[in-house]
Amino acid sequence: MRVAGKMFIHSSRRSIDLSFSGLTLKETQDVELALLLLAAAEKVGYREFEWIQAIVEHVSKAKKVYIIDLGIKTGVQWTVLMQALVSRYECPIEILKVTTVATNGKRLIEDTGKWLLSFAQSLGLPFSFKVVVVSDMLDLKENLFEVDVGETVAV
């Protein structure tokens, strides 16, 4: 992480003078992932980055990941997760499922889902998107979500 931090700082100054020489393949992959996550944090915002990083760590060994999003907005945060998941070489992802909960605006959320599907396809990531509409968040029930055996869930 220290190497990635140094490289990120240097790259933001437009002068990269550090290389991956001397690192093992695993260390190089870790640095590449950390650089990706640091760059994404600038776009998404550091608060969102922190919880995305927590999810990445939570699902680090999972091949099937199920995200329940209680307020998706633009969905850009999930592009960061997608990139992190496809860059895992030691535990390739089999599927990423995102279900978002809405009380209104279903059409806009479905458009977000189409955009996320397109992004996932560009990465070669198996992806599923679903919208659960409830009149009130208090109406949310576990049976509204289709969690399959072997999926690691993050909310």
Residue with tokens 């260390």: 27
Model confidence at 118: pLDDT above 80: yes
What φ, ψ does residue 131 adopt, rounded to 5°?
-115, 130
In 3D space, the residue among 52, 12, 15, 8 whose CA is nearest the CA of residue 31 turns out to be 8
Q: Which amino acid, 42?
A: E
Mean pLDDT in the chain?
81
Q: Which of 43-47, 80-84, 148-152 has the highest mean pLDDT?
A: 148-152
State pLDDT tens for residues 59-105: 999 999 999 999 888 888 898 899 999 988 888 999 999 999 998 88
Q: Which of 20, 24, 56, 14 is nearest to 37 (CA)?
A: 56
Both structure tokens of 23: 């690192």
Report DSSP letters for 26-77, one per residue. Answer: HHHHHHHHHHHHHHHHHHH-HHHHHHHHHHHHHTTT-SEEEEEES--TT-HH
What domains appear along the chain, each with residue ranges and CATH number?
Answer: 1-44 (no CATH), 48-154 (3.40.50.620)
